[in-house]
Amino acid sequence: MPLIEEKYRPVAQMLLSSGTCPRCVLRFCCVGTYSPYRLPYKDLDGEMQTYVAVSPGDTADPRWVPPCKKAKLDISIENPGDNFLIDSSQLNDKNDAPSLRSCNLCLGILQDLSEADFIKEIFQTVNSAGYEFKDFVFSVSLPAQMSVREHSTWLQAKQEMGKHGHPFEKTDVIQLKEAYKWITHPLIAEELGVQAVSKSSFEVAVVFAHPETDGDCHFLAKTCKDCFKPTKNKLSVFTRMAVIKALEKIKEEEFCASFSYPPQCPVTVCKVVDLQCSHASVFVAGRYNKYSRNLPQTPWVIDGERKMESSVEELITEHLMAVFKADSFNFSSSGREDVDVRTLGKGRPFAIELVNPHRVQFNVQDMKELQKKINSSDKIKVRDLQIVTREAVAHMKEGEEVKTKCYSALIWTEKVIQEEELQALDHTKELKIAQKTPLRVLHRRPLASRLRVIHSMRAEYVDEHHFRLYLKTQAGTYIKEFVHGDFGRTRPNLGSMMKTTADILELDVESVDVDWPPALDD
């Protein structure tokens, strides 16, 4: 059974005679099943040569090979013209066969870089990286100039097919990445012992480059200037997407005048400029209590100088980073407390993104043991420690400013406290206040006026100048400023309500009313 449909025979003959490898011939002959691509390279080449040499119903010398101007060997031609004969005894090595040299389309990727030696190199890289994974996705980054070469070839193939009344769309061509994965997926999967899938948390990525042909796409910058704009993170303007955009825009006659067919066969093959593994981030969530009045939530560094020995973030993440073997992390929480404020009750929800973790397989008992390690500190405690999804983390921030928080504060007043004043506070409900950005945070937050609501208050007398105030407020309310007024930047404030100077001596967060993450059984 022939590998390709008969109507594509002229295309196959054209491509082979120009220096295209048999696997790229399959692609441009629209062979959409993976089995022919997985044939041993020499077997596939032999079948391809026989196919193009023999017309239906004819017999011909199976050693026939289409002529090629770029052949590396000095081969004597018996009959100059359309055909020449090669003594098969001369073809002792892959590199000795003109039909097996570096392809002018894939630049060697479907030849040398899909063979067993390269697959073993991939396996060694993955194996030495020390990741845990249950499957993998294989991603390939190709040189941009391949798109130019394929565009040129497609235009010629379309013209050839048109001579015989057959349409030929660019989308009919099998993508190089697709063919490459058809060949390599089972080989890599066999080495790694897990399956290749279309979506996976674990990625094996290879980046190819071909410096010899980098200039192939430079002419597009003259005809499609607006497609190539410098960016900070790109070393070259000739990215694959920019080149594809330019090819969609340029007229066929203009392209053919600038880039002739067939593309030159390169002397070198593609080289691997990057081969690496990475694992998608893992998200760990929980709630923390803070018992120290000398502990910031995150590292406190001013002008490069550290102000506090540690932080809530560090006390939690030092254990997570060690166990998950992650490269870095991102810490977030439902609000934050000041360095001198304790967080009590069920604690404050937090989430930590662990970037590129190497260890990811944890069960419930593992997480309990990890929680126990974190709780060895007397400054903080965590609860409900669990692995969550990226999407679940968004729940922590949803409607954050309409959530409520409860506080307790020890208040000092300049004048002697009257019982009726405390009773008045007890009866205050849904008090609306306007708060300008506090002076103490103005260096890191924009100046704005925010409307907040004190839902309820309850006062407990301590002595003539002190009382404890329990508040339930809208999230985002600055409690300290509500008490002392921040030089009139918060109105009304506790001092103005009691007609005295008031200040806050101690503040505790009693509850953060966010129903996340899900509570776990101890």
**Which residues carry out catalysis?**
338
The CB density around residue 198, as the number of other CB atoms within 10 Å, is 7
What are the backbone angles phi and psi of residue 299, rounded to the nearest 5°? -50, 130
Q: Are strands 449-463 and 466-474 parallel, antiparallel or unpaired?
A: antiparallel
First to last CA, the chain: 66
Q: Quick one: DSSP state of residue 237?
A: S
Q: How far apart are CA 460 and CA 302, in angstroms?
A: 38
CA atoms within 13 A on the CB side of 181: 20
Residue 353 corresponds to which amino acid? E
In the sheet that 135-141 helps form, which strands lie side by side, from edge to edge?
Answer: 195-196, 135-141, 202-209, 271-279
Give the span between the Cα atoms of 378 and 398, in whole angstroms. 31
Tokens describing residue 508? 């505790």
- CB 423, CB 454: distance < 8 Å: no
Count of other CB atoms within 10 angstroms of residue 274: 10
List alpha helices for 213-295, DSSP H: 220-223, 240-249, 252-258
Cα separation, 163 vs 186, whole angstroms? 39
Place of tokens 């396996």: 123
Q: What are 87-95's contacts with CB under 8 Å, separation 24+?
A: 87/63, 88/63, 94/41, 94/42
Give the helix/strand (H/E) hosting 386: strand 380-388
d(CA 35, CA 186) in angstroms, rounded, equals 11
- Separation of alpha carbons 38 and 179, rounded Å: 9
